[in-house]
Structure 1
Amino acid sequence: MTMRRALLGLLAGLAFATPALAEDASHDARPIRWLVGLPAGSGPDILTRVLAERLSPKLGRPIVIENRPGAAGNLAAQALARAPADGSTLGTLLAATVSINRHLYRDLGFDPSKDFTPISHFASFPGVLLVHPSVPVETLDEFTTWARAQPQAPLCATGGAGVVPHLALAWLMREIGSRCEFVHYRGSPDAQRDLIAGRVPVLMDGLPTSLPGLLAGQTRGVAVTSLQPSHLAPDLPTIAARLPGFEALSWIAVGAPAGLPEPIAARIETAVAEAMTDPALITRFQALGVEPAASGREALAARIATEDARWGALIREVGITLE
């Protein structure tokens, strides 16, 4: 009798468990929506798609990329912040989105410190200080002397106001006791074009987009913004060699809405770490001029907080505003 009751109890338990199991299976089969705040074909979009292709089988779910460009990435970030925290929505987080924009925009529509679950970095690249070949400088010391000697602040180009290279150049000019007349372009290609044409003498830009001009001798590199020399341009020294601690990297990370359950966050973090060891992914990333960089949740959260404090202080000190 006891065995019969136990069997009946087990069957009853399975009857109640079956709908929940079926619901979980259905949930796991749904595509993951991955929000990207830049247009299709942009660098972060391409890198996201390369990673997503390898993450999908590890997570057992298809991944659909949804591009929501606009407002310096804030539109996609708003959508990510408002999405359900159940693993069905991921987003590409940029340094500007979570560490810079809140110091430049009055109303983001989200709180970078509260509305996201940081998962992991997956790519990063340094900036590079460039000059037109007519500018008589080859080293950072020579650039410092030249910049200070100009009767008026030299024109300094960037690929956009409020991006990491813009802030890095503002930081550098503060440290060397000089200043810029900033000229902000709508993207790196236009800025590179005007530097090559000699319409602006100085540009701080991402190293990947700067390589064609550098390799062709159309521009001259002075120094990079990473702590260590880049394998992409190993002959270029670092700014940190003259200004210890100077580091300004553009980085890309995986994020999710705040409140993501620990088991789901851990699973995605592990999947990203595993995907980043794929030789084909590493080769593809390096061909695009970026370093694969899987960091994990703690390291990403720490970097966001550190850069939020650093960039916020710089923006206030030098009075950077967006008109």
Structure 2
Amino acid sequence: MFSRRKLIISAVIAAGAGSGTGAALAQAYPNKPVRLVVPFPAGGATDIFARVLSQKVGEKLGTAIVVENRPGAGGAIGSDVVAKAPADGYTLLLATSSTHSIGPALTSRLPYDTVRDFTPISHVGNAPSIMLVPNSSPAKTLKEWIDYAKKNPGKLNYASSGPGTIVQLTAELFKSQAGVFMVHIPYKGTALAIPDLVSGKVDVLFDSLPTGLPHVREGRLRALAVTSAKRTAMAPELPAIAEVLPGYESNTWFGLYGPKALPADIVARVNAAVNQSLADPEVKDKLARLGIEPVGSTPAQLAQMVAADAAKWRAIIVERKITGE
């Protein structure tokens, strides 16, 4: 009798433990350091952003957040690490427009599905670009530049950081909406294009705001506009391209993701810590110096934003026959 009763009690306890595993996991979270995978090299904008954000989010969660760089294949290697990680909240991904909007549109050979294999947590930031031209350019304003380009079809060129990059797509989106033609000259990074832009060998470059703006402040280049939907606090004197071309917008966005099937309680806890951190004055100041505008969102808002962004870039990639090679 005693053995039978003991077995029944054990079975009930086991069943209860099994049904509450997810809740128990969320309740105990986090009880060890969290790994934040950055799918790009150390020292880049995504990496620096991750380190600024991780320190404050770690404080909010009460644990250390360790940034781990897993670069390669345009961000696919690091993203795949997170896609295949346990859904326990201890491995997260700082994704970008390159990994979740542009990459899937350029190739069907990714080892994961950007929608099916990840859990969205929060849209954490945007980094607009700046439209740069040589000081020798006859155009002093964006409208003057567009008029000049239309009068000189096929004579102008633009630099990029390589085929299929956000820099090229930003320029191609501009060409499409402005109705101008420019020849693409790819470089292995925008820094390598700057000397040719200064000398006038290159006519235009859409560089990231934090790396491009110093050249303007130093008088080496002229800035015509920024690519965000509205003017940015980092350079409020510069108009948004959308002021001349309504609806134009190009940002490198940053979003926090977990593996698929991440428990809702963990998602909510991380989301709250992230959004609170992005509102912190110290974090906002550090990000402003990086040219990054903090956002903060619900998981659903991140998913919706990425879906719209991916559709936009997919249309440009198809229209312009862009490849990653």
SS in structure 1 at match of 2:132: strand
Correspondence for 1:197: 199
Correspondence for 1:222: 224
SS in structure 2 at match of 1:186: coil
Q: Does 1:172 align with 2:167?
A: no
**Letter aligned with residue 245 of structure 1:** G
SS in structure 2 at match of 1:29: coil
For residues 321 and 217 of structure 2, the distance between their equivalents in structure 1, rounded to whole angstroms, comes to: 35
For residues 251 and 273 of structure 2, the distance between their equivalents in structure 1, rounded to whole angstroms, comes to: 24
For residues 153 and 246 of structure 2, the distance between their equivalents in structure 1, rounded to whole angstroms, comes to: 28
CA RMSD across the alignment: 2.3
Structure 1 residue 198: deviation in Å? 2.7
| Mapping for residues 274-289 of structure 1, pairs under 5 Å | 274-289=276-291
For residues 27 and 275 of structure 2, the distance between their equivalents in structure 1, rounded to whole angstroms, comes to: 25
Q: 1:34 aligns with which of 25, 33, 36?
A: 36
Structure 1 residue 321: deviation in Å? 1.3
| Mapping for residues 64-213 of structure 1, pairs under 5 Å | 64-150=66-152, 152-213=154-215
SS in structure 1 at match of 2:158: strand
- 1:223-262 per-position Cα deviation (integer Å, ceiling 9, x unaligned): 1111211112112111111211111111112111111110
- 1:145-198 per-position Cα deviation (integer Å, ceiling 9, x unaligned): 221232534220123332323212101112222222112222232222331233
Correspondence for 2:243: 241
Q: Does the CA contact (< 8 Å) of 1:96 and 1:162 recur in 2?
A: no
Q: TM-score, normalised by structure 2?
A: 0.89
SS in structure 1 at match of 2:40: coil
For residues 66 and 284 of structure 1, the distance between their equivalents in structure 2, rounded to whole angstroms, comes to: 20
| Mapping for residues 17-28 of structure 1, pairs under 5 Å | 28=30
Instruction: State which drifts further: 306-315 or 197-206.
Output: 197-206
Runs of 4+ in structure 1 deviating by more than 3 angstroms, as ranges, are 20-28
SS in structure 1 at match of 2:49: helix
Structure 1 residue 212: deviation in Å? 0.8
Q: What runs of 5+ residues in structure 2 fail to find an aligned partner?
A: 1-8
Q: Does the CA contact (< 8 Å) of 1:165 and 1:248 recur in 2?
A: no
Structure 1 residue 278: deviation in Å? 1.6
For residues 25 and 300 of structure 1, the distance between their equivalents in structure 2, rounded to whole angstroms, comes to: 25
For residues 156 and 167 of structure 1, the distance between their equivalents in structure 2, rounded to whole angstroms, comes to: 11
SS in structure 1 at match of 2:43: coil
Correspondence for 1:45: 47
Change (3 A) 1:273 1:187: same
Q: Does the CA contact (< 8 Å) of 1:34 and 1:64 recur in 2?
A: yes
Q: Does 1:297 align with 2:299?
A: yes
- 1:51-76 per-position Cα deviation (integer Å, ceiling 9, x unaligned): 11111132232211110111111111
Q: Does 1:308 align with 2:310?
A: yes
Correspondence for 1:5: none
- 1:99-123 per-position Cα deviation (integer Å, ceiling 9, x unaligned): 1111112311111121111111222
Question: How many residue pairs get matched?
Answer: 309
Q: What runs of 5+ residues in structure 1 fail to find an aligned partner?
A: 1-8
For residues 242 and 27 of structure 2, the distance between their equivalents in structure 1, rounded to whole angstroms, comes to: 51
